[in-house]
């Protein structure tokens, strides 16, 4: 009996240390676009609104991807991304989001050949990790694959 109580207390203590997991609103969708003026874009947001969680942009065939994550005030400008077992840590710059009160844009660049981006294109799996929470994004397989195909250097 004592073992069961101790095991229960231990499990409760461990679960209290777990980082909360969030998921974006179900209305958010991945979309990919490309045009001569803006280049290629991969956006997670509510279609036809300014409600965006994440945006990746590139000039076609540049080999470089610019990433913007919309976080909360107080989130660090350094962010961890996970795709399956691949983990990438990126130092960025943070600034107030112009469209969303109380939000912060975290921006950084990565090569299109980055292992995390390659795994994202292969699986569509992506999670944003901050010190206080994890954000599991909807699957982006087809859109990420098409976007990175546009961005990769020849």
Q: Give the pLDDT confidence of 13-58 residue by residue, as tens digits.
A: 344 457 899 999 889 999 999 998 999 999 999 999 989 999 999 9
13 part of a folded domain: no
CA distance 19 to 29: 24
User: At 104, is the pLDDT very low, low, confident or very high (cuts 50, 70, 90)?
Assistant: very high
Q: How many CA atoms lie within 13 A of 61 on its CB side?
A: 2
28 part of a folded domain: yes
Q: What token pair was written down for 92?
A: 């960025």
66 part of a folded domain: yes
115 part of a folded domain: yes
| CATH number where 112 lies | 2.60.40
CA distance 38 to 89: 27
Phi-psi label, residue 61: left if phi above 0, alpha if psi -120 to 50, beta otherwise? left
Residues 62-102 have pLDDT tens digits of 999 999 999 999 999 999 999 999 999 999 999 988 888 88
Total domains in the chain come to 1
User: At 123, is the pLDDT very low, low, confident or very high (cuts 50, 70, 90)?
Assistant: very high
8 part of a folded domain: no
Comparing C-alpha atoms, which of 18, 19, 44, 25 is closest to residue 33? 44
Helix (H/G/I), strand (E/B), else coil: 121: helix
17 part of a folded domain: no
**Looking at residue 75, what is its pLDDT?**
92
7 part of a folded domain: no
pLDDT of 130 higher than 90? yes
Q: What is the pTM of this model?
A: 0.85
Instruction: Give the domain range for residue 131.
Output: 22-151
5 part of a folded domain: no
């Amino acid at each position: 009996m004592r073992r069961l109580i101790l095991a229960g207390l231990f499990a409760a203590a461990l679960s209290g240390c777990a980082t909360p997991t969030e998921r974006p609103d179900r209305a958010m969708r991945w979309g990919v676009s490309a045009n001569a003026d803006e280049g290629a874009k991969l956006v997670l947001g509510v279609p036809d609104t300014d409600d965006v969680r994440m945006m990746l942009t590139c000039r076609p065939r540049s080999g470089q991807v610019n990433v913007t994550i919309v976080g909360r005030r107080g989130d660090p400008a350094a962010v961890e991304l996970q795709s399956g077992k691949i983990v990438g840590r990126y130092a960025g710059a943070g600034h107030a989001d112009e469209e969303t009160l109380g939000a912060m844009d975290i921006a950084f660049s990565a090569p299109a050949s980055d292992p995390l981006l390659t795994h994202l294109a292969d699986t569509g799996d992506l999670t944003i990790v901050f010190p206080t929470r994890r954000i599991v994004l909807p699957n982006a397989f087809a859109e990420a694959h098409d976007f990175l195909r546009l961005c990769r250097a020849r």
